Chains A and B, each alone.
Chain A
Amino acid sequence: MGSDVAIIGYGAYIPMYRIPHKEIAEIWGRGGRGIPPNEKAVAGPDEDTVTISVEAAINALNRAKINPQDLGAIYVGTESKPYAVKPTSTIVAEAIGATPNPLAADFEFACKAGTEAFIAVLGLVASGNIKAGMAIGADIARGRPSDELEYTTGSGAAAYILAPNNHDAIAKIEDRYTYVTDTPDFWRREGQYFPMHTYRFTGDPAYFTHVENAAKGLMQKLGLRPSDFRFVSFHQPNVKFPLQAAEDLGFTLDQIKPTLLNPVIGNAYAGSSLLGLAAALDISKPGDRLLIVSFGSGAGSDAISIIVEDGIESKRDLAPKVIDYISRRVQISYGLYVRFREKLRE
């Protein structure tokens, strides 16, 4: 694939509320030793996937410095749509002033929906069909009370604006590689509010197989090694999995550390690996090569290689960085968390 498509704007958003694992563990009688000092971001009572997507989209527009009317596509990848039927993307498009002409659709591929949307926009831009397009990965993740998922289901959004590679691009897209199979590791059926997962089956046959094969496939295709990348952003369902994948593939702790947001915000599902990439862009220099590897249950991974361009220097301060959102922190109790996330359900 050519290198004529670039990221011209990116934006992150993370809600300000935090609940520590310890607080959740105490409620469910799992206190004591062995609880890591991690926490997760919780969306407020007036936030949903649309509002956090809009926040990220505005940040991306502020960096891209383009007219929203120039966006030929707005795709949102999420598994927490406020409406089961009615697009999230049209509400976002309306809110940022991009209507009435863009393509608008929601993508569903569990936590891979964000990079799926990213690659769809990439294709439209590469073909010359649109001048610019926006892909958003956003989720307010749901975990059943007391379930293992409850510790990590976080909230967050990341938006990317892609356009032909011009003089003030932030980063050019080098290539991508995808690995997909039918692997039922995690799902939510029609009518169910909380997802099901299959415990240890979500590890080796699901996360590691797909993430590692996608990463290896892309590196093989490009003739690259882990040492050719400055940073790598993996999907982060927990802290252990991305660290293990990094080790298995031969990446160092320094390469993954800046993108590892799970300990402070949890798993932002479709936003997870894209937020990691945003955190990497926040501190990258022109010429740095970055790798992003998503993972969506069901299951699949997209690996995308990106080379940072000169535009990063002038654009990165035009919107809040990931670290700014992480620092904006208000700790809440389990009780408030239950109210904010509507855990008391009939």
Chain B
Amino acid sequence: MNQVAITGVGYVPISEHWSKSLRMLMAEAGFLALDEAEIDKPDLIIVSSAFASRLQEQYQLGALIANYMGLGGVPAMSVEAGDASGGVAIHLGYTAILSGIYKNVLIIGGDKLSDELPARVESVMASMEDREYITYHGATYAGLAALVYKEYLTKYGVKNDDIALLAVHDHSMAVGIAHAQYPFPIKLDKVLSSPIIADPIRLFESFGFGDGAAAIVLSALEDIKSDTIITIESSVMATAEQFNIAQRDNIVSFSSTNKAAKQAYAKAKITPNEINVAEIHDSYTILGIIALEDLGFAKYGEGTKLLKEGQLTPGGKIPVNTFGGLKARGHPFGATALYQTMEIVKQLRGEAPHQVPKAEYGLVHSMAGIGGTAVVNILRRMK
């Protein structure tokens, strides 16, 4: 069987790019990834964007980006799966190469939230959940995450402070990261005194709106000659057993993440203990804590223990979000999983500013909304 390798990564800093359009950002990231992979022309382009169809009112983003990059004629498609758009795009690229039909796939994720006013972005974000049954009633992304947060506090008797600590961790990891949106440390009391956006979630426990684009090139392993080879050992996508959060029995664990993780470990023939570094989806701190548990790094209700013990930093038991995570590196939706993957690639290559020593296995967790879709990709350094 073929294997799939990541042969190039490219990205732009996450920021408010007032003077660049979405296509400019995506093309820039795409060209950088192609340059690194030393490929002029991929034979498939997959673009991922959560909101381009509504914030930029652009459909056929795949064909548009292909043309804008001077790659008109190359097969191209666009993937939308909320926050997990990038994860799903990578999964598709992976399957495209395994099918034997495509050898070099360029995947570009991008979103530009600054093109619209915040109230509109908030409304568009809410469309990730069931419009007819959930967001129709006025629930926002943050509002739903707040329900999960409250249930978690009640069920496990954990303190708000312990969960908010994940924002402090993310910021400490973003220091020195050139592409991070907020590359500075913050203290816990600053997080806890920031305004409440949806009780009990505080502003500094949430990602900020930003613009970004990141890209990777996937290639069939037989064609690669470079010294260090980073492969995708397994890529698994899953959806929630119950999409509608109001009808779930348990809202403090996400079946999509859990299922994708279990299968991903099985396919890579490893256990969670063998993962050296991970990028987890923490658009809100609580979702990151739950991810630690659903991914098998902590027992249910004990995610904050790892955090308090300092086990999430390089040198700890399971270093996560070593480039700042969604909170501090940033969360430009459709691009996020591409940034996460690029960061794991840098860790496995030994090029990370906060390097995890001798990292061999890295995990990327991509999730949409309140767990509707999840993708878990396990990467490995081959030599």
Interface residues of A (CB under 8 A from B): 30, 32-34, 198-201, 204-205
Cross-chain contact B114 with A201 (CB below 8 angstroms) = yes
The chain B residue sitting closest to A35, CB to CB, is B195
Contact partner of A204 (CB less than 8 A), chosen from B16, B193, B195, is B16
Q: Which residues of B contact A32 (CB under 8 A)?
A: 195-196
Q: Is B18 a contact partner of A30 (Cβ separation < 8 A)?
A: no
Separation of A32 and B192 alpha carbons in the complex (Å) = 12
Is A205 a contact of B18 with CB atoms below 8 Å?
yes
B117 in contact (CB, < 8 A):
yes
Query: Are B195's CB and A34's CB within 8 A?
Result: yes
Contact partner, B117, options A34, A199, A204, A205, Cβ 8 Å: A199
Do residues A204 and B18 form an inter-chain contact, with CB atoms below 8 A?
Answer: yes
| New A-B contacts (11) at CB < 8 Å, excluding given A201-B16, A204-B16 | A30-B195, A32-B195, A33-B193, A34-B193, A34-B195, A200-B16, A200-B114, A201-B114, A204-B18, A205-B18, A205-B19
* B118: nearest chain-A partner, CB-CB: A199
Question: Residue B194 at the A interface, CB < 8 A?
Answer: yes
Contact A198 B193 (CB under 8 A): no
For A199, what are the chain B residues with a Cβ–Cβ distance below 8 Å?
117-118
Query: Top 3 A-B pairs ranked by shortest CB distance?
Result: A205-B18, A33-B193, A34-B195
- Shortest distance between the CB of B197 and any CB in chain A (Å): 11
For the complex, give the distance between the alpha carbons of A30 and B196 in Å.
9
Interface set of B (CB-CB < 8 Å, partner A): 16, 18-19, 114, 117-118, 193-196
Q: For residue A30, which residues in chain B have a CB less than 8 angstroms away from its CB? A: 195
Neighbouring A residues of B18 by C-beta, 8 Å: 201, 204-205
Could you pull out 5 A-B pairs where Cβ atoms are within 8 angstroms? A32-B196, A198-B117, A200-B114, A201-B18, A205-B19
- CA–CA, A199 and B120, complex, Å: 12
- Chain A residues with Cβ under 8 A from B196's Cβ? 32
Complex: chain B residue closest to A200, CB-CB: B16
Q: Which residues of B contact A201 (CB under 8 A)?
A: 16, 18, 114
Output the nearest chain A residue to B209 by Cβ-Cβ distance. Answer: A200
By a CB distance below 8 angstroms, the chain B residues around A200 are 16, 114
A34 to B189, CA, bound (A): 12
| Chain B hits for A33, CB < 8 A | 193
Q: How far is the CA of A86 from the CA of B194 in the complex (A)?
A: 47
Which residues of chain A are near B195, meaning CB under 8 Å? Answer: 30, 32, 34
Min Cβ gap B56→A in Å is 16
Give chain A residues whose Cβ lies under 8 Å from the Cβ of B19: 205
A200 CA to B114 CA in the complex, in Å? 9
Closest residue to A197 on the B side, CB-wise? B117
Give Cα A107 to B329, complex, Å. Answer: 45
A126 CA to B19 CA, complexed, in Å: 39
**Given A199-B117, A199-B118, does the pair A34, B194 have CB atoms closer than 8 Å?**
yes
Whole-angstrom distance between the Cβ of B359 and the nearest chain A Cβ: 36
Q: Which residues of A contact B193 (CB under 8 A)?
A: 33-34
Closest to B115 in A: A201
- Provide the bound-state CA to CA distance between A198 and B16, in Å: 13
Which residues of chain B are near A205, meaning CB under 8 Å? 18-19
- Closest Cβ of chain B: how far from A201's Cβ, in Å? 7
Least CB distance, B102 to chain A, in whole angstroms: 40
User: CA separation between A34 and B196, bound complex, in Å?
Assistant: 10
Contacts of B117 in A (CB 8 A): 198-199
- Inter-chain CA distance A32–B197, complex, in Å, is 13
Please give the distance in Å from B210's CB to the nearest CB on chain A.
10
Q: For residue B119, which residue of chain A has the nearest CB?
A: A199
Closest A residue to B192 by beta carbon equals: A33
